[in-house]
Amino acid sequence: MTTEILKADEQSIRKAAALIKAGETVAFPTETVYGLGADALSAEAVKRIFAAKGRPSDNPLIVHVSGIEGIYAAAREVPPAVLKLAKNLGPAPLTYIVKRSDKIPDAVTAGLDTVAVRIPAHPAALALIRECGLPVAAPSANSSGRPSPTTAEHVFSDLNGRIPLILDGGVCGVGVESTVADFTGKVPVILRPGGFPKEKLEEILGTVVRIYRVPEGGQPKSPGLKYRHYAPRCRIVVVPYSEGLAFSLRNAYDNCVQTMNESAIILCQSVYGRDLEGRRFIALGDTAKEAAKALFGALRQNEDKYGTLICHTLPEEGIGRAFNDRLLRAAAGH
Ligand code: TXA
Ligand code: MG
């Protein structure tokens, strides 16, 4: 199969919708990362997503809809908190786990009694869903285990020959995936930190939101948590955020380059660059938002150039939580 890349516009979106309605898969931009979409009501179509990505079939997919009606169609029950958030926010990098409707096939939910639903905040994604007239099931459009794609080129390099079409909408603005939160219990629980901050969730809902931690030796609540994720082809050394960070980065670099005789580069926020005293580095911007937007691209761009990427965590707040989560998983996956 040849994989076409088309700039996302009215014409290419119509073509993409026709493919999805015919049971095919199409990669499309969202505000978080690129997704690989298929008809969420067709088990056959959804199986093609798993095949193209090499994704384990027990890892459920997010159903993308264009508005609140779409959440009602995918869910058996819409909890008041979800309604409040969806009304307040509209499209957002936030995924709601709710009780599933019978219309959603087992292939999407991996047989769970719940379904993940999200309204993506990207005009091309919304236009595609509307043009399909269907809910669109879509995981991130990477090969399973690889860093998520934030450009059409990233998708192409993983899935060339495995899907018919990639809609190119440029670089994703958020750069890390949506926040996945479970709304089926008394208190909302974040299963995966992401583009939507916990602090903002708590502010809108006026309640405390918990963050889920996989129990020691137990089964994780979100199947995706048990798989290897985001791993680039090289080693990652994580330096914890702290006072004297530039000193720790220099040490980690010298240890790689001088002691272990490896090629290395530091990925850091711009402010630390001037204190690295000539060591090779790439700046991931000034803010946590900029760092999150740049992370996956930086991993992909440098994985084949260096033996080791040295990167520091951010303060554990806002989108920094998502950045830290992806970085630590990427490091663990190698
Ligand atoms: O930003 C995003 O969320 C992107 C874009 C394309 O929307 N999508 C994405 O999908 O990151 P994916 O498949 O890479 O990650 C979805 C996560 C997985 O960890 C999966 O296990 C979890 O959501 N998930 C899906 N359905 C679930 C459910 N019913 N219960 C618990 N976790 C679920
Ligand atoms: Mg993914």
Write out pLDDT tens, residues 292-329.
Answer: 999 999 999 999 999 999 999 999 999 999 999 999 99
pTM over 0.85: yes
Closest C-alpha to ligand 1, atom 6: 35
Amino acid at 221: K
Q: What number is the average pLDDT over the span 106-129? A: 98
Lowest mean pLDDT among 108-122, 187-201, 263-277, 320-334: 320-334
Q: Strand, helix or coil at 104?
A: coil
Distance 228 CA to ligand 1 centre (A): 14
Closest C-alpha to ligand 1, atom 13: 139
Q: Which atom of ligand 1 is nearest to the CA of 64?
A: 7
Q: What number is the average pLDDT over the span 214-233? A: 79
**Ligand closest to the CA atom of residue 177:** 1
Closest C-alpha to ligand 1, atom 19: 224
What is the distance between the alpha carbons of residues 169 and 293, in angstroms, rounded to a whole number? 15
Q: Which residue has the tokens 């009602």?
A: 72
225 pLDDT higher than 80: no
Distance 329 CA to ligand 2 centre (A): 12
136 pLDDT higher than 70: yes
Q: Which atom of ligand 1 is nearest to the CA of 224?
A: 21
Q: What number is the average pLDDT over the span 124-135? A: 98
Q: What is the mean pLDDT of the chain?
A: 96
Lowest mean pLDDT among 152-161, 189-198, 212-221: 212-221
Write out pLDDT tens, residues 48-105.
Answer: 999 999 999 999 999 999 999 999 999 999 999 999 999 999 999 999 999 999 999 9
Write out pLDDT tens, residues 24-47.
Answer: 999 999 999 999 999 999 999 999
The ligand 1 site (C-beta within 6 Å) comprises 30, 32-33, 35, 59-62, 93, 95, 97, 109, 112, 114-116, 118, 120, 138-140, 177-178, 180, 191-192, 222-224
Write out pLDDT tens, residues 241-283.
Answer: 999 999 999 999 999 999 888 999 999 999 999 999 999 999 9
138 pLDDT higher than 70: yes
Q: How many distinct helices (H) and strands (E) make up the chain? A: 12, 15
What is the distance between the alpha carbons of residues 73 and 63, in angstroms, rounded to a whole number? 11
Residue 180 tokens, joined: 């996945």
Test site for ligand 1: of 150, 222, 319, most ligand atoms within 8 A of the Cβ: 222
223 pLDDT higher than 90: no
Closest C-alpha to ligand 1, atom 10: 139
219 pLDDT higher than 90: no
Cβ pair 211, 189 in contact under 8 A: yes
Q: Can you give the pLDDT at residue 215? A: 81
Distance 172 CA to ligand 1 centre (A): 17
Q: Residue 334's pLDDT band (boundaries 50, 70, 90)? A: low
Strand partners, 282: 267
Distance 59 CA to ligand 2 centre (A): 10
CA-CA distances (angstroms) from residue 196 to 53, 158, 329? 25, 26, 19
With pLDDT > 90 as the criterion, what percentage of the chain qualifies?
93
